[in-house]
Structure 1
């Protein structure tokens, strides 16, 4: 073919070469790509109900009435078996309410829908256990009596993954002890955020925080608690008037919420 192209004029050669190029572009445009497209998902107030059921049910100790909201945040991504094509990727790159991510970072366990759901729900159960241990450990360390017989059940339906851990722990602390002085951890505000938590109260990163800040603002939050390591990601698409507060441990997060309630200084990204 190259010898024949050499005998053609430049316009003729370009025209002939454009045919396979156009075919290649068309194939790429139609071919599925190894990406997932994410967007802001729902939020859930861990102090209230989710789909008609209490998120937190605590027994073994008296609980307190709370004001304000502690909203854990989510993202929604294209399913593990859904094809994402070039047009979807380009659209996602140019929209502030979309994010394009490698599919294996969203679904590291493969494309089997049932296996992905099982894995995510398993992560959520582990997160709930860690949140309960972290919250009760924090309360005991701060001299709160009567926590030895406390049992906690959390119900977030089919929401999976470990990223609700921090907010489940905060919800337990607020329901059992508030701010420690008779007030609410929220100060009556709607506070949103995200973060994994270990049984010892260490907060870890989760991913998707730029989308989660948008979900938080949409649902009325004025403060967003973000794992410190993800501050720059959270700032990337931060909605106007949403205050970012970096967090590293459960104890320091409670301290920041107390400072917010009193109008004091809190960390910032």
Structure 2
């Protein structure tokens, strides 16, 4: 066999062997890619994303798109060939599997956690939006979840409003744990609560929950230091003066909070905030309207530009990362609060874009969060 033919055959066989190895060798990585975007001012799955009842709303134009990131599942085994392709691709990011699913977190656990964060982000978006508009919102402490097998199981329920512990009024979720841990494990603790059913009816009517009852529990010992617990997670709940529903399925995590809040503000504002422009964005939001960083920022900017966005509202702490690879034709607008975002939208709507606070590529002390 001629040397040249032998060399080509050997090279072909080697390449084939490498490709086979790439397919069969599993690597501990996961992949992130741009996900779909949804206009919070529009519809999804045939119904309005934001539904407001009992308050006058105003016509809106343009887009205020929330953005998402697709990730491979917890049980997905990436092979070496897929990892290499992801590393060289501009539209995908390959990250250590541990970054997305730490401590062996399962698909079910991740989905549940994302659902809880998504629910909380909706609540905070409503609160931040109404406070931005000067509309009063009443806050209260409520049971968010009950641990299975704990002293509270069957006695307290998600949605119960906690008025007091041992007769001491509670004003914040942290007060509940503080008052419970004054006890030793095995001691009794008294909760004064408004049952979830009565609390839900009061919220629907726009009134403060009433009709409390007392529930006495015997504390248990926490793993580790053995401090007293009853097995509940308390969170801040709110009574809104009118109905606000966010209808969006198959989305999880907290990063849509900012865009939900802005959509609510736009619908309740007489003048059109976007001026018909296509704006997308991301960012967590708390009850006070502070915007927090998120993960996968570069995937979200790619997805936003592909959908048609020209402006992208970017959490201040994500600016440096987002600026390293900004899609052509997309302006990154830096925001730290909902007020920053509203003012930037007004500038965009009026065409006063030269005055927008833009992201730059300077090194940031903080990097992407969850």
TM-score using structure 2 length = 0.61
| TM superposition shift of 1:109 | 6.7
* Secondary structure of the corresponding residue to residue 268 of structure 2: helix
2:281 matches 1:189: no
Residue 73 of structure 2 corresponds to 79
Residue 90 of structure 1 corresponds to 84
Distance 1:108 1:58 in 2: 38
Residue 137 of structure 1 corresponds to 131
Residue 315 of structure 2 corresponds to 227
Of the three residues 23, 33, 36, the one matched with 2:27 is 33
| TM superposition shift of 1:104 | 2.6
Residue 102 of structure 1 corresponds to 96
| TM superposition shift of 1:121 | 1.0
2:338 matches 1:250: yes
| TM superposition shift of 1:198 | 0.5
2:111 matches 1:117: yes
Larger mean Cα displacement after TM superposition, 42-51 or 103-112: 103-112
* Secondary structure of the corresponding residue to residue 240 of structure 1: coil
Distance 2:240 2:251 in 1: 29
> For residues 211-259 of structure 1, what are the alpha-carbon distances to aligned partners after superposition, in whole Å with 9 as ceiling and x for unaligned?
1111111111110111111112212221111111011000111011112
Distance 1:78 1:254 in 2: 34
What is the alpha-carbon root mean square deviation over aligned residues? 2.3
Contact 2:48 2:247 in 1 (8 A): yes
Residue 208 of structure 1 corresponds to 296
> For residues 21-43 of structure 1, what are the alpha-carbon distances to aligned partners after superposition, in whole Å with 9 as ceiling and x for unaligned?
xx9x9878734322211111100
Distance 2:119 2:309 in 1: 26
Residue 66 of structure 1 corresponds to 60
Residue 174 of structure 1 corresponds to 266
* Secondary structure of the corresponding residue to residue 318 of structure 2: helix
Distance 2:240 2:21 in 1: 63
Distance 2:257 2:347 in 1: 22
Contact 2:22 2:81 in 1 (8 A): no
Greater strand share, structure number: 2
Distance 1:133 1:90 in 2: 44
* Secondary structure of the corresponding residue to residue 140 of structure 1: coil
Following superposition, which runs of at least 4 residues in structure 1 exceed 3 angstroms of deviation?
A: 25-31, 108-111
Residue 121 of structure 2 corresponds to 127
> For residues 141-184 of structure 1, what are the alpha-carbon distances to aligned partners after superposition, in whole Å with 9 as ceiling and x for unaligned?
79xxxx9612211121010010100000000000001xxxx421
| TM superposition shift of 1:111 | 4.3
> For residues 74-128 of structure 1, what are the alpha-carbon distances to aligned partners after superposition, in whole Å with 9 as ceiling and x for unaligned?
1111111100122222111111001012223223474422222111111100000
Distance 2:124 2:251 in 1: 17
> Which residues of structure 2 form unaligned runs of 5+?
1-16, 137-238, 360-370
Contact 1:110 1:116 in 2 (8 A): no
Larger mean Cα displacement after TM superposition, 27-36 or 253-262: 27-36
Of the three residues 357, 360, 364, the one matched with 1:267 is 357
Contact 1:29 1:86 in 2 (8 A): yes
Q: Closer, same or farther in 2 for the Cα pair 1:204/1:109, shift >3 Å?
A: farther
